[in-house]
Amino acid sequence: MHILIVEDDRLIAENLYDFLEACGHQCDFSATLTGARKLLAKGGIDALILDRNLPDGDGATLSRALRNEGNSLPILMLTAKDTLEDKLAGFDAGADDYLAKPFALKEVEARLLSLYRRAAGKVAPVALTFGELAFDPHTQTVQLAGQVLSLPPKSLRLVEVLLQSPGRVFSGRELESLIWGHEQTSSDNLRSVLHTVRKAMGDAHSVEIVNVHGLGYKLVSR
């Protein structure tokens, strides 16, 4: 995921940034609402971590503005405001989830992945293409250079996920969550699915799945 962290506490922001990047996510950071709006305007953000108390206003105003614009970006509010009234106000402003400080970093990632999957499930399926590789969500088929590849369900799901963001690095944990709905007890499961897809694609085409050492996997052109 590409995550925007809007938090004015430098230590909290750095901890979130370092942890989420170590998990294979791409992160941007802003300590203000003004900076956050500029980063959001550039596009490409998959999820938003939003504090309430910011130097130039309440994070809830940004959440409400995004919803009024029809933006369904997943929003996780992280804040010291932890009363029931505060939480209800956050949800009323359009937040998808609300986590009070202090929090566990692993829980933050787990909640973000859950919101990301939920948001992806609301989007109408569309055909995905990258070079010679194409996925049809209606027939649940993958074609490479016009030839249908014979792939089992988990392998089809892997291709679909990678085709949604060609060139983007997906961590192993993220791919497991997006394919199976949860992390796997053994990384062999993901490696087996990757092997199946790579074998079906072969070496004679212009698209491949590559390993990014220590980070994960991505779909690229040769």
Of the listed ranges 71-80, 119-128, 130-139, 198-207, the least confidently predicted one is 119-128
Residues of the chain with CATH 1.10.10.10: 128-221
**Residue 186: what pLDDT?**
84
**210 beta partners:** 218
**pLDDT (0 to 100) of residue 137:** 82
More confident residue, 122 or 4: 4
Output phi, psi for 29, to 5 deg: -140, 145
CATH of domain 2-122: 3.40.50.2300
In the chain, the percentage of residues whose pLDDT exceeds 90 is 57
Where in the chain is CATH 3.40.50.2300? 2-122
Q: Are 161 and 170 in contact (CB under 8 A)?
A: yes
Looking at residue 124, what DSSP letter applies?
A: P
pTM (predicted TM-score)? 0.57
- What architecture does CATH give domain 128-221? Orthogonal Bundle (1.10)
Which residues does 98 contact at the CB level (< 8 Å), separation at least 6? 76, 77, 79, 87, 90, 91
The letter for the amino acid at 2 is H
Pairing of strands 147-149, 26-30: unpaired
* Half-sphere CA count of 49, side-chain side, radius 13 A: 36
Give the containing element (helix H, strand E) for 47.
Answer: strand 47-50
Would strands 141-144 and 2-6 be described as parallel, antiparallel, or unpaired? unpaired
Residue 46 and residue 116 in contact, taking contact as beta carbons nearer than 8 Å: yes
* Side chain identity, residue 124: A
**pLDDT in the model for residue 17:** 94
Residue with the bigger pLDDT between 108 and 184: it is 108
C-alpha closest to that of 209 among 175, 184, 183, 173: 175
The pair phi, psi for residue 218, each rounded to 5°, is: -150, 160
Contacts of residues 89-92 at CB distance under 8 Å and 24 or more positions apart, as own/partner, are: 89/60, 90/52, 90/60, 90/63
User: How does residue 122 score in pLDDT terms, banded at 50, 70 and 90?
Assistant: low
The residue with greater pLDDT, 121 or 68, is 68
pLDDT digits (tens, 9 = 90+) for 19-35: 998 888 889 999 999 99
pLDDT tens for each residue of 129-168: 999 999 988 788 999 999 999 999 899 999 999 998 999 9
